[in-house]
Structure 1
């Protein structure tokens, strides 16, 4: 059975990104068209999962309960539009911790695949950074770059072969729902 699954990075794709980290619910500012896009995908039978690096946890900028508050808010906003957010996984480690989950390593994507019992080949992973695209490529996901967040900066670099580029998550959703 084919599951309609799309995996999203969080910061810069679903919400505004900040080089100073998103440290509180107040700083977690959703991109309105992204909330709408997730709800539209969900209502059309897509499962929308999220894989997000959160090294701010390791750095002590915020705690797990604060991160959970942001994800509860994300779920509430999507639910208000009749949609649902699937599994949200995060990497709590810093860049030098040597974990297997921090993108560009594919650990979080593998956890999502295991959770849903799916093969990742061809599954779209939507991100705004080179690390997102490399993680997608490592597990044969379809790398998808959005120009929001760090997307424009990432676009200036070499992209993995076959990377699809869209203006934002709303454009990705429109394409998938065609």
Structure 2
């Protein structure tokens, strides 16, 4: 139930475990693959690159979000995991996985009711079809009520992110390394 200044939410954790048989997008050097996780392409969070796994990286990295209860029951809200190979001249796209938050939640409830689960999904790259697999687990926390961020605060945070991304684009630093943006976002 969402009313006024408060919103019912759940903590949502995604644990990226590994990928296998990815397309080798680097012909000379070994691939160093990292993942970028987002919900509906918002609040993107990035893993460290696996420098040793090549086309079968392993991470064991947890990313956490606070998502509104409406996002859990709404059919169109998607978990998006994009894989990239790190390179000095810019990261190279490897492929991605899309899955519905609602389907993850429904599946976890059916499998014992503990609000968690694990999946292995095909990694897609445009019209090329399947380019390997991605394995991850996930967990939905209990319902909590949090204060809804004001529209001004959201707008100011968005503006700050845009300005920082522009400023940091010439420096080798990611915005996720700045402490103000490391707290889980409320995704409604």
Alignment TM-score > 0.5, same fold = no
Tell me: higher relative CO, structure 1 or 2? Use CA pairs within 8 A at least 6 residues apart: 2
Please identify which structure carries the higher helix content.
1
Quick check: which one's strand share is greater?
A: 2
Relative to the length of structure 1, the TM-score reads: 0.28
Structure showing greater Rg: 2
